[in-house]
Amino acid sequence: MACERSNLVQAHYDGELPSGEAAALRRHLERCADCRKLLAELRAVSTAVASARLRRPSQMTQRRLRHAPRLRREQSVRRLTGWLTATAAAIVLATWVLPTRNQAPPPRYAQGTDAPVVGAALFGGADENVPEVVLAAHWMASDLSAPRVVEP
């Protein structure tokens, strides 16, 4: 487009020019063939778009849209139920299954004595008569890597 005022034609066409500028452009259009051609093209595009056919939704889509809030609520309930089920399963797994798998073997008792042999194993064989309460405390803290030194 050769005319330097052509950049105003679209704004004029869309009614976006202040009234003073619009009046000046109308006068310009009377003598500028390029700008008149641009204006005609803008009108043609608008007519084509406004008269174009819009795609229609299927009946299934129409039904789903009509019930969108209810479908969304049901979807949320299903999601929440799934989440709660997964959480419950994780809790059961953490409470029952995993501790059983990682549990220390039951203490073995030396023949003819009440002292647990495991005490010797745990405490480097220093004393087989380690009280059971100390052993229990040790097992409870078994995730701590450093072994305790227990004075006899």
Partner 1 sequence: MSSTQADDQLLRRSRSGDERAFSELVDRHGDYLFGVARSLVRSDHDAEDAVQECLLAALRARYDERASVRTWLVGILVRQAALVRRKRWRWSREAHQPAPQPRPDAADAVDARLDLTKMLQELSPDHREVIVLRELEQMSYDEMARLLEVPRGTIESRLFRAREQLRRMSSEERDGL
Which residues of the shown chain bind partner 1 in the complex (CB under 8 A)? 10-11, 14-16, 41-42, 44-46, 48-58, 61-62, 64-70, 72
Question: In angstroms, rounded to a whole number, what is the distance separating the alpha carbons of residues 86 and 142?
Answer: 29
Quote the tokens at residue 144: 């701590």
Contact in structure between 128 and 119 (CB atoms under 8 Å):
yes
Least gap, CB of 78 to partner 1 (angstroms): 16
Nearer to partner 1, 5 or 134 (CB): 5
CA-nearest of 122, 120, 117, 116 to 139 is 122
Q: What letter does residue 97 receive in the DSSP assignment?
A: I
Least gap, CB of 121 to partner 1 (angstroms): 56
Instruction: Note the Cα 11 to chain centre separation in Å.
Output: 43
Least gap, CB of 82 to partner 1 (angstroms): 21
Nearer to partner 1, 37 or 117 (CB): 37
CA-nearest of 97, 102, 132 to 117 is 132
Least gap, CB of 25 to partner 1 (angstroms): 15
Nearer to partner 1, 74 or 132 (CB): 74
Nearer to partner 1, 66 or 148 (CB): 66
